[in-house]
Amino acid sequence: MLTIIGLYMDPPANAIVLSVDEKTQIQALDRTQPILPLRAGTPKRMTATYKRNGTVALMAALAVHTGMITATPVKANNATTFLTFLKKLDRTFRNNHLHIITDNLAVHKSKEVKAWLKPKRKITMHFTPTYSSWLNQIEIWFNMLAKDVLKNGVWKSTKQLVDQIMEYIRTYNEQRAAPFKWTYAGKIRVV
């Protein structure tokens, strides 16, 4: 845990720190009745009933030093898709040593991932302790995505949902990306 906090507070000058995780089960929901528009004195209204149009997952990485997001929508969250995403990160940041912070999900430690990482001396994995998702900064960004895009969203297909998420990421990277500032100044306690 202290290593991860150290990477956030004082990232190495010669490396890139990436906070990586998946947001799974993002539902493409459509309402069964039209949404009643916002009018003066009346909030926007939508029915509680909905139609499910499928789900998607999103693999995402937050570059801690810039706040930029790299993401890939996936149909399933497994070792193969995680390895494909790691390869994308390796290509994106090809000339840099990478410190990847992620959780202890089994797919992150699969045989395929370990075999691919073994000769990659420029990629170091750091796993958050169990029940410590709050340590992974990408979770902060996932909360922003949920509030800005997913909450009360209406999509007729998973393609429409993915298109909106990817447009949000593009706009976020252009207009809002910035490092998250950790402000805790107290003593770091390890249990």
Domains and CATH numbers, the chain: 2-33+47-132+141-175 (3.30.420.10)
- Strand residue runs (E) in the chain: 15-31, 50-63, 69-74, 97-102, 123-127
**More confident of the two residues 2 and 155:** 155
Please tell me whether the overall predicted TM-score, pTM, comes out greater than 0.75 for this model: yes
Q: What is the pLDDT of residue 46?
A: 66
Rounded Cα gap, residues 35 and 38, in angstroms:
9
Distances (CA, A) of 1 to 62, 110, 114, 130: 18, 21, 21, 10
pLDDT tens-digit series, residues 71-124 = 999 999 999 999 999 999 999 999 899 999 999 999 999 999 999 999 988 999
**More confident of the two residues 9 and 112:** 112
**More confident of the two residues 8 and 71:** 71
* Burial of residue 39, with CB atoms counted within 10 A of its CB: 0-12 exposed, 13-18 middle, 19 or more buried: exposed
As a whole number of Å, the end-to-end CA separation of the chain is 10
pLDDT tens-digit series, residues 171-191 = 999 999 999 987 766 676 665
**More confident of the two residues 146 and 6:** 146
